[in-house]
Amino acid sequence: MPNGDAAYIKKLNRSLIISKIVEAGMISRAELSKVTALTKATISAQVASLLEEDIIIETQQDYSNVGRKPIMLSLNETAGYALGIDLDYGQISFTLSNLLGRPVSSDKVKIHDTNYSNILSVLVKKINEYKDKCLMSRYGLIGIAISIHGLVTTDEIIHYIPRLQWHEIALKEDLEAAVKVNVYLENNANLLAFAERAYTHHKSDNLVCITLRSGIGLGILINNKLSKGHDGYAGEIGHMIVQPNGELCACGNKGCWEKYASESSFLKNLSQRKQVRNMSFKHIEEELNRKDIETHQEMENFIHYLSIGLNNVINIYNPEILIIDSELLSRYPDSIQKIKSSLSSSISHYRELLISSTGKKAYELGACALVIKHFLEITMPNLVYSESTESSLLK
């Protein structure tokens, strides 16, 4: 066998072994051999290498039977840390996770302008602070992934961020030069899809995620890979026209979906209708609970247009799972059932329609999961997140 082939097979085996250890949480060498179908000799050699690198650790499992306690293998979750960043208009959010994707530190920084140099300085300062927090671990800060609310090219150049008015920005290159850590840039909707797969839907390799916040974005995961299109711009579903000759959109077209079914458009329309400024989701929830007629009418209109777009998405992608990221819908009783009742086409097929379970941290968590994937060199990490699992080890 050529040496190149042998090295490639060794790399594949390593990836498979790490994936199964992460998936199981704790697993013995014998069981690892069974689930991977690799020989005991291969398992022994790979495990020895991973132990030497501090990627995995050995522990003795409690054992009530007579005989030697089994030695269990698990990922060394404190060997390194991943930094996920959500770069949004007016605010940058940071989440640092261990190698199992559990957050160990979080922070938010308000930004008061859109100047690139100023925001780059904020990012560099905060990243260096997180680097210092990770110095005690074997691998330190293993990487950074940043959620971008705009268009990112396949070679990770920011093509355009509408709300920041950034065009052709080499943020990845500038950050890597400044902080000396690997940086990955990804569209926020793509990271939502990655977070849902990595943290929740471990058995689904094909899912579609829609975020309804400032605009509408689409993240597409097919066979565990993000589908980005030729230039990286796939998923700008908010600019699908749902109302011919409708409202003028900033993109230049009329009747775009996000003018009718994004949370920002809903808040704008309801605020104008009720003559209330700075309307919050909490206020809307209270209005819905007290059966306010105008609020309920606006919600019905919102769901009407949302369903039109969802019907198109379902017919185009035939997803196994369709996930919606929306704080508004999470506060509206029976919102999913109301949407399903509007999806009455006999040819629209999907298995599940859900509200995102990762909520506001979805983009940062997806970013952390992406960094972990690259560091461990695995196809997809199966992680677990809930607010109760958050640690404060690095405070």
Of the candidates 381, 357, 328, the one whose C-alpha atom is nearest the C-alpha of residue 97 is 381
Strand partners, 141: 81
Three-class SS state of 202: coil
241 has pLDDT over 80: yes
Q: Which residues of the chain form beta strands (DSSP E)?
A: 27-28, 56-60, 71-75, 81-88, 91-97, 103-110, 141-148, 151-152, 158-161, 166-169, 183-187, 207-211, 217-222, 225-226, 321-325, 352-355
In angstroms, the CA 143 to CA 374 distance is: 9
Coil vs helix vs strand at 352: strand
- pLDDT category at 280 given cuts 50, 70, 90 is confident
Average pLDDT of the segment spanning 183-204: 94
Model pLDDT, residue 333: 85
Classify residue 388 as exposed, middle or buried by CB count within 10 Å of its CB (0-12, 13-18, 19+).
exposed
Give per-residue pLDDT as tens, 295-329. Answer: 999 999 999 999 999 999 999 998 899 999 999 99
Give the whole-angstrom CA distance, residue 393 versus residue 395: 6
CATH number of 3-75: 1.10.10.10
* pLDDT at residue 77 is higher than 50: yes
Q: Mean pLDDT across the stretch 356-376? A: 92
Query: What topology does CATH give the domain 201-356?
Result: Nucleotidyltransferase; domain 5 (3.30.420)
Distance CA 385, CA 358 (A): 8
Extract the tokens encoding 382.
């199966």
Q: Which helix H or strand E contains 16, and what residues bound it? A: helix 3-24
- Domain range annotation of the chain: 3-75, 81-194+360-389, 201-356
Which of 151, 127, 144, 17 has its CA nearest to residue 74? 17
> Residue 393: pLDDT above 70?
no
Comparing C-alpha atoms, which of 320, 394, 309 is closest to residue 83?
Answer: 394
**What pLDDT was estimated at residue 395?**
45
Mean pLDDT for the stretch of residues 91-102: 97
d(CA 164, CA 119): 10
User: Cβ neighbours of residue 358 under 8 Å, at least 6 residues apart?
Assistant: 192, 195, 196, 199, 200, 365, 366, 385
Q: Shortest CA distance to 198 belongs to which of 16, 24, 393, 358?
A: 358
In the predicted model, what is the mean pLDDT of residues 331-357? 86
Write down the CATH number for the domain with range 81-194+360-389: 3.30.420.40
Instruction: Look at phi and psi of residue 108 and say left if phi exceeds 0, alpha if psi is from -120 to 50, else beta.
Output: beta
* SS3 of residue 389 by DSSP: helix
Quick one: average pLDDT of 54-67? 76
User: For residue 220, what pLDDT is reported?
Assistant: 94
Mean pLDDT for the stretch of residues 158-176? 95
Task: Decide whether 81-194+360-389 matches 201-356 in CATH topology.
Answer: yes
Average pLDDT, the chain: 91
